[in-house]
Amino acid sequence: MNKKLLLLFLIAINHLIGQEKSEIKISPPISTDRPDNSDSPYTIEKENFQFETGISYSSGNSNGLSVKTLTLNTGLFRFGVFDDFELRLGYDLINEKNNLKYSIPNDFKSFNTSYTSKGLNPLLLGFKFLIQNGNEKKPAIGFVSNLYLPFSASKDLKPKSTAADFKFALSHSLSETQNLSYNFGVQWGNNEYLLDYLYSIVYGTSIKDKLGLFFELYGDISEKGYSNNYWDSGITYLVNNNFQLDASIGSGIASDQVIYLSFGFSQRFIPKKP
């Protein structure tokens, strides 16, 4: 009798363990909006929290003005309100050095002046909405919109007005390891209250499920007709499904940018189910 009870007990325990394992949800690999300049169309899942951060350096020259910008910390907080809708809060803590060389007409003398701007850029407050999931026959489509709040910026970096942007983000699966993504939209408030048209296109491929490579073209076109165009390329390394490292390098094509470097990581936090 005791042997029968023991056998029934072991069968019951084995059934419960097997049921518990079958109910464990394995999360897919983390999807991030860094290090490239294109946003993914995908949102994070409901009640998930994700933090994407890094440091970057850029330098540029234009008409005697040299600008070197060190972004000491850039951060993006993402929270899944629903499975297809997320809220976003972003910030940039920067140290910008400007050096201007100029000369007076009909004078052989030249002058140098320099100044430094540092502190917090306007906070980004926005959302992303997944319009359509993608598959082999149709692209994934998302919509992203952000406000940049001037009252949140440091004195040296405070703009005159609120800026905003919105764009559509699309992604096509080319194969199991390759995809093509692109964004297009507009921004205003950053350039004399005129619209700038935004674009980006990025090709990405994965190697052995852990290492990812990408190459991107991006830029903006002003209503006045001039444009800024850039390229960047980089790598991502998936440490685990919830943590990713990244590094990238880039420069200007038809712009004042000389060099751009970035390093960072992204971490996803999944709440434990009771």
- pLDDT tens by residue, 100-115: 765 555 555 566 777 7
Q: Report pLDDT digits (tens) over 161-206.
A: 889 999 999 999 998 899 999 999 999 875 567 789 999 999 999 9
- The pLDDT of residue 260 is 95
pLDDT reported for residue 20: 41
pLDDT tier, 23 (very low <50, low <70, confident <90, very high otherwise): very low
pLDDT at 6 over 60: no
Residue 71: the pLDDT is 93
Whether the predicted pLDDT of 138 surpasses 80: yes
State yes or no: pLDDT of 22 exceeds 70. no
| CATH code for the part of the protein at 2-269 | 2.40.160.40
pLDDT of the residue at 194: 79
Number of other residues whose CB lies within 10 A of the CB of residue 99: 15
pLDDT at 148: 94
Q: Where are the domains of the chain?
A: 2-269
**For residue 274, pLDDT beyond 80:** no
Q: Which residues contact 211 (CB under 8 A, 6 or more apart)?
A: 235, 236, 237, 238
Residue 8 has pLDDT above 70, yes or no: no
Give the percent of the chain with pLDDT over 70: 84
Residues whose CB falls within 8 Å of the CB of residue 130, separated by 6 or more in sequence, listed in order? 41, 42, 43, 83, 84, 85, 140, 141, 142
- The confidence score (pLDDT) of residue 190 equals 59
Q: What is the model's pLDDT at position 124?
A: 96
Q: Average pLDDT in the 226-253 region?
A: 95
Q: Is the pLDDT reported for residue 140 higher than 90?
A: yes
- Find the mean pLDDT for residues 128-149: 93
Summarised one tens digit per residue, pLDDT across range 65-93 is 788 899 999 999 999 999 999 999 999 99
Query: Is pLDDT larger for residue 15 or for residue 195?
Result: 195
pLDDT tens-digit map of 204-224: 999 888 999 999 999 999 887
